[in-house]
Structure 1
Amino acid sequence: MKIIFTIIEQGHFREGLIYKANRMWTPNVTAIMAEMQRQKGHDVTILDANACGWENRVLSKKIVEQSADLVVLMTQPSDRWQNPYPSIARQKNFVRTLRKTGYDGLFLAVGPHPTLLPENFLTEIPEVDYIVRGEPEIGVDQFIDRVVQKRPYDGVPGLSSRVMGDVVHFGDEKPVHNLDDLPMPAYDILPMEKYQHHFYSQVTDPRHRFAFIETNRGCPFGCSFCNLALYGRTIRRFSVARILAEIDLLVEKYGVNYLFFGDLTFGINRKDTEELLRGLIERKYALRWSCQTRVDMIDSDLILLMSQAGCHRIEAGIETAQAFLMKRVKNVRTQQLENLVQALNQANIKLESGHLVGLPNQSVRQVWQSARVLKKIGVRFKITSVTVPYPGTDDYAQGLKEGKIKLKDWQSIVAAAGKSGNKLTDRKIQVAIFIVQCLYYWHIFTSGVGGVLSSMPHLQAAWRGFQRLFYRPRDGAGAIKRTFEDVVYGAE
């Protein structure tokens, strides 16, 4: 059976108040699914249009030329499972282009969009035959087995389709409990030379080779805005031996010299993490890496070990420095953050954080105060963004309850972004983002030429935010004036 796994060109996402940047990271889950089918004797290809820069017509032509029996579309790679683009317009355009190009075989879609809003996905894109909800490896594997064996689809984990005009779910979602049962990703059929981390570029450093890697899946914490639909709350871990074997393969065969550990919470199992770090230290690779974690997951001893193992940057989802919001949203305290920053500075590891606008009970004044506190502590804002009420989150439930999410579709979710559980409006959210960016970039400019040059990729985002705020200059200036009056006089 000829199977093509594909990822469409993502591009940057801009709609309403939401901006999300494209990332060219290795599509690990897609490569794992491909290897599972290759081991069963199928003819498997991965076409990563996002990495290769192919538009839909080019990708569709390549699929038709290869006479595929089944196309499996990952709507967004696993590095975007937590915060996918809140839209299926790109997926719809691709599927329709592919069908018009002449592909008449089976089409299966997996990933965050069919998982979060399956009925909406199948209704909006009727050209898709089937979807697999949730973590896709087991469901896709069993679906392909049933296709080959020409058996009914009843009980296939996560499988859904339209039957007589109605959406039917053939089986419940089924995550992989023992991650070591999964094969190594099929890196040999990926364009490994194309992938890069957004902090680096093959233009400025031709030797840059990047890979995204997991040590665990799942997250037990209950952040109000966090989308865990494809992960679940149960932590499942790859063994340290498996992780190190994958790193050995990436470094020795593909020349990878930069890794990003994409776990939602790196270091959640202290024993395994220390064993992994010591394994990296023993190997003495010229390897740098970064990760994302929580403030309360690491301490000075672990930070020192991470630095020795090649870590140079940590992304911590701090989101806010308002004490009551930190407790509610992340269940951490400001003192923990201050201690973390001190330990990271001593280890020469940079700390970056997202700063969210639109948290429950948040006001513009609180956003401004929070940004000032984070800047004073020494936290660098990686990006300032608006909360998206993804289905299944507390923010989504609150948005439905308040009537701010009118319909269960992506357009309604975009319209409600940043407004669940608070009194923020579009204009106030724009002003809040502008204030945070002003504070951050003023700090960058006053830190000297080096700070400016190191932050050039982010300055474009700031300029876009500036333009967005002032698309109606008179209203924008008035909004800023009113906001600062609110901040100074406490009128909000």
Structure 2
Amino acid sequence: MHTILLTTLNARYAHTALGLRYLYANLHELQSEAKIIEFTMNEQIQSIVEDLLKHSPKIIGIGVYIWNAAQSAELIQTLKKVSPETIIVLGGPEAGYLPHRVDFSKADFIISGEGEVAFYELCKKIFANDLPEEKFIKASLPDLKAISLPYSAFNDEDVEHRYIYVEASRGCPFECEFCLSSIDEKVRNFPLDQLLEEFETLWQRGARSFKFIDRTFNLNMTFANRILDFFLSKEPPYFAHFEVIP
């Protein structure tokens, strides 16, 4: 049994939830209590609830995005109806920013922002029966040099059959009014040598589909070129996706 479950509803099976893997990688001594369980949007909510609750979890963390907000709200409602004592923690852009488009009122806590440190701290408080008074928790920006990278949390099935989502930086230099990325204070890079070591490990495990989620991959060309050189040194076929600004 696992007392912490990390879950989300992906748009399709080929997708993987990078955010869940970041949370898992940064649970420290609580990691042995945790498990990642992913679903897709076309699965029945009742079946998802049964799959989650058979683990008798104390905490369920749910990643909420634009494509799964309505289904996530239904999932929360059903979970709380069947197992009201289970503590539900939401994160992700659709839950972390107000106002909400759908009803998330049944959730116990909502983390806004980058949740690696905040989720770990919240879990510790829950286990210590020291629940925060505030339901909406604004996470402080974590130091990207201090948090653990998530790539070892991709399992063999992910590597063989699914996209491996990766990121070299967080934040965006632009201030487009329609985009939540404009809220980020600044662009921050991950330690590049450590990142390339993780990519090499994934490659050796057989990963050949890499999708970068950086808002502007080519913002720092010296940084970007080292990553491009990594892939150019590899033997095709493989797939590498970047979002760039011309």
Compute the TM-score of the two structures, normalised by the length of structure 2.
0.85
2:192 aligned partner: 240
Within the candidate set 223, 242, 266, 2:217 is matched to 266
Within 5 Å, which residues of 2 pair with 1:82-97?
84-85=66-67, 88-97=69-78
1:187 aligned partner: 154
1:378 aligned partner: none
Matched, 1:128 2:107: yes
Within 5 Å, which residues of 2 pair with 1:306-345?
none
Amino acid aligned to 1:136: G
Partner SS state of residue 27, structure 2: helix
Partner SS state of residue 292, structure 1: coil
Compute the TM-score of the two structures, normalised by the length of structure 1.
0.45
1:70 deviates by 0.4
Matched, 1:281 2:232: yes
Deviations 1:334-356 (A, max 9, x none): xxxxxxxxxxxxxxxxxxxxxxx
1:227 deviates by 1.9
The answer as to whether partners of 1:24 and 1:50 remain within 8 angstroms in 2 is no
1:367 aligned partner: none
1:100 aligned partner: 81
1:252 aligned partner: 204
Shift of the 193–215 alpha-carbon distance from structure 1 to 2, 3 Å rule, reads same
1:50 deviates by 1.8
1:212 aligned partner: 165
1:145 aligned partner: 124
Shift of the 32–173 alpha-carbon distance from structure 1 to 2, 3 Å rule, reads closer
1:241 deviates by 1.6
Q: Give the Cα–Cα distance (whole angstroms) in 2 for the partners of residues 179 and 103 of structure 1.
A: 38
Q: Give the Cα–Cα distance (whole angstroms) in 1 for the partners of residues 88 and 244 of structure 2.
A: 36
Judging by fraction of residues, say which structure has more helix: 1
Q: Indicate the structure (1 or 2) with the bigger Cα radius of gyration.
A: 1
1:73 deviates by 0.4
Q: Give the Cα–Cα distance (whole angstroms) in 2 for the partners of residues 61 and 115 of structure 1.
A: 26
Shift of the 278–124 alpha-carbon distance from structure 1 to 2, 3 Å rule, reads closer
Q: Give the Cα–Cα distance (whole angstroms) in 2 for the partners of residues 224 and 105 of structure 1.
A: 37
Shift of the 219–190 alpha-carbon distance from structure 1 to 2, 3 Å rule, reads farther
Shift of the 274–291 alpha-carbon distance from structure 1 to 2, 3 Å rule, reads same
- Which structure 1 residue ranges, 5 or more long, are not aligned? 11-21, 77-83, 155-159, 162-168, 196-209, 296-492
1:468 aligned partner: none
Shift of the 232–226 alpha-carbon distance from structure 1 to 2, 3 Å rule, reads same
Within 5 Å, which residues of 2 pair with 1:155-234?
160-161=134-135, 169=136, 172-179=138-145, 181-185=147-151, 186-188=153-155, 191-195=158-162, 210-228=163-181, 232-234=184-186
The answer as to whether partners of 2:24 and 2:31 remain within 8 angstroms in 1 is no
The answer as to whether partners of 2:16 and 2:164 remain within 8 angstroms in 1 is yes
Shift of the 9–257 alpha-carbon distance from structure 1 to 2, 3 Å rule, reads closer
| Percentage identity across paired residues of the two chains | 17
The answer as to whether partners of 2:212 and 2:243 remain within 8 angstroms in 1 is yes
Shift of the 58–263 alpha-carbon distance from structure 1 to 2, 3 Å rule, reads same
Partner SS state of residue 46, structure 1: strand
1:484 aligned partner: none
Q: Give the Cα–Cα distance (whole angstroms) in 2 for the partners of residues 145 and 237 of structure 1.
A: 28
Q: Give the Cα–Cα distance (whole angstroms) in 2 for the partners of residues 55 and 248 of structure 1.
A: 37
Q: Give the Cα–Cα distance (whole angstroms) in 1 for the partners of residues 156 and 29 of structure 2.
A: 14
The answer as to whether partners of 2:144 and 2:191 remain within 8 angstroms in 1 is no
The answer as to whether partners of 2:171 and 2:215 remain within 8 angstroms in 1 is yes
RMSD over aligned CA atoms reads 2.8
Partner SS state of residue 245, structure 1: helix
The answer as to whether partners of 1:8 and 1:56 remain within 8 angstroms in 2 is no
Within 5 Å, which residues of 2 pair with 1:426-441?
none
Shift of the 44–192 alpha-carbon distance from structure 1 to 2, 3 Å rule, reads farther
1:143 deviates by 0.5
Shift of the 9–217 alpha-carbon distance from structure 1 to 2, 3 Å rule, reads closer
Within the candidate set 7, 27, 46, 1:37 is matched to 27
Amino acid aligned to 1:117: L
Amino acid aligned to 1:241: D
The total of aligned residue pairs comes to: 244
1:66 deviates by 0.7
Within 5 Å, which residues of 2 pair with 1:9-88?
10=11, 24-37=14-27, 39-50=29-40, 54-76=43-65, 84-85=66-67, 88=69
Deviations 1:61-119 (A, max 9, x none): 0111111110000012xxxxxxx34x84222211122233446311111111222226x
1:177 deviates by 2.8
